[in-house]
Amino acid sequence: MPAENELPEPDQLEGTPHPREQPAFFGHSAAETAFRDGIASGRLHHAWLVGGPEGVGKATLAYRVARFLLAHGGRVPGDASSLAVDPSHPVARQIAARSHPDLAVVRRGLRKDGKGYSAEIAVDHVRRALDLFTSTAGKGGYRICIVDGADDLNASSGNALLKVIEEPPPRSIFLIVSHSPQRLLPTIRSRCRLLQLRPLAEADLCAVIRSLGEPWSHLDDDALGRAVALAEGSVRRAMEMLDEDKAAIVAATDALLADLPRLDMKRVIQLAEKVSPRGGEGAVQLALDTAMGWVSRTLQARSAAGPARLAPLVEVCEKGARTAREAEIFNLDRRPVVISLFGDLADAVRRAG
């Protein structure tokens, strides 16, 4: 059975530094300023919901804020124009090594068989992380919890988190990362300050990818430019577009989405067959993530239509995420997940008008 440190981390893009190890930060100066101003005022809100599409830097921002707070004791030094902390600073090194006593991270844990990570964040993982806030750590400074990502919380773990942010201990900060804040418990959303990150500009995307080190720092300019042009502001999607096989899956999924509500079942089945062989969980997830991103953008573009007409699309997201998790937990055939998703999407688009 592999140890956890022998597996890719559940909140890391394969082949790239983990967000806790990434000192560079691009394209979200307004979000950084919001945190800096809150720290400088001495009235930093205790719970922040950092939302936005996958791959735009939400977790990187959360770790950046945590480093700054823990390195400077909740103050803003007079010469600090950003939230940057030198990677050689002891706090930065501790966070990179996952050893800082005043930082807890809530994320998916290993499955019982040790073969990969669970599909959801279990309530026990939340409770263990939140033990930080009942300990004597902190010594008068901040204690920080990063939830990455809140979309993986189930009902029990979500309620466990809610109990703590409803009555937060003194000098505690919760940085809650979510790709789809609208799908979280309303009671969690209502207790958080929402900070919505937008898709990155193409120049910022290029800068992020170049900052990741080899082999990304020396990518061919034309190849990087093509990937970034298709990335819709997401680093993750840009990286996927640099992989020919992944790019083909995204292109096939996008083509089907563009035709909705018309549905070519032959092409849907071809996609399901392509992404669903045993061991192809990553390919299935890539297709699902592409579809969910399309739904999120569609909801934003049609927001004027009102909740009643858009509810079917939200329900498809919830059902799709639930069935994908069940397929992973019980090792079920993934093809029906993909086929059902597109059937539900076609029906939802018709109903939404």
Residues 6+ apart with CB under 8 A from 257: 290, 291, 294, 345
Please state the pTM of the whole predicted model.
0.83
Q: What is the pLDDT of residues 126-137, one digit of tens each?
A: 999 988 887 755
Q: What is the pLDDT of residues 43-55, one digit of tens each?
A: 999 999 999 988 9
Residues 6+ apart with CB under 8 A from 243: none
User: Is 189:162 a contact under the CB 8 Å cutoff?
Assistant: no
User: According to the model, what pLDDT value does residue 136 have?
Assistant: 58
| Residue 6 banded pLDDT, cuts 50, 70, 90 | low
The DSSP bridge pattern shows strands 47-51 and 103-106 to be unpaired
User: According to the model, what pLDDT value does residue 5 have?
Assistant: 52
| Residue 280 banded pLDDT, cuts 50, 70, 90 | low
Q: Which two tokens stand for residue 201?
A: 């500009």
User: According to the model, what pLDDT value does residue 3 have?
Assistant: 46
pLDDT over 90 percentage in the chain:
60
Residue 8 has pLDDT above 80, yes or no: no
Residue with tokens 């300023």: 33
User: Is 217:187 a contact under the CB 8 Å cutoff?
Assistant: no
Q: What is the pLDDT of residues 190-212, one digit of tens each?
A: 999 999 999 999 999 999 999 99
